[in-house]
Amino acid sequence: MSDYSDAFLKTVLQRTKVVAVVGVSMNPERPSYYVARYLALKGYKVIPVNPGHAGKTLFGETVRASLSEISEPVDMVDIFRRSEAVSPIVDAALAAFPDLRTIWMQIGVEHEQAASKARAQGVDVVMNRCPKIEYQRLFGELRMGGFATGVISSKL
């Protein structure tokens, strides 16, 4: 299912305070970096997760190698990995965070079996969407007829 009501998406974004971003890049030109940065700038606490960069600092937070290294509660896990990598990430999220509210899979990422498992444990699931784009759209930040990449030329 990738057809979500605006009310549902808005509720998810409003109730979320802490986001673990799995697969975040240290490269500012990668979508995972600028989506995580955007969320941090909007007031979310963003906990970066990427085993290749564990121990480094990103957005004022230490990059964790895995979700199991996060000791504080997380409201949402945002997944920037290929669809075939999603199932163990969802399993780890469900095991690590008993009060997890949302699993969010980025654009192009879907895994119905993992989503069903999360839903069965009372966790909301969003697939094939981007929280940055949805935030901009739902909270009136989009400009230029729906331009949603967050990159606007200064020559416009």
Residue 154 within any structural domain of the chain: no
Q: What is the pLDDT of residue 133?
A: 95
| Under-50 pLDDT residues of the chain | 146-156
C-alpha 104/C-alpha 32 separation (Å) is 13
97 occurs within a structural domain: yes
CATH number of the domain enclosing 89: 3.40.50.720
Helix (H, G, I), strand (E, B) or coil at 77: strand
User: Is residue 84 in some structural domain?
Assistant: yes
Q: Do the beta carbons of residue 8 and residue 134 sit within 8 Å?
A: no
Question: What is the distance between the alpha carbons of residues 124 and 115, in angstroms, rounded to a whole number?
Answer: 8
pLDDT digits (tens, 9 = 90+) for 75-86: 999 999 999 999
Q: Is 146 a member of any domain?
A: no
- By residue range, what is the domain housing residue 125? 6-138
Residue 67 lies in a domain: yes
Q: What is the pTM of this model?
A: 0.89
Domain count of the fold of the chain: 1
Q: Is residue 150 part of a domain?
A: no
Instruction: Report yes or no on 144 lying in a domain.
Output: no
pLDDT of residue 2: 60
pLDDT, one tens digit per residue, over 25-40 is 999 999 999 999 999 9
**Is residue 114 domain-resident?**
yes
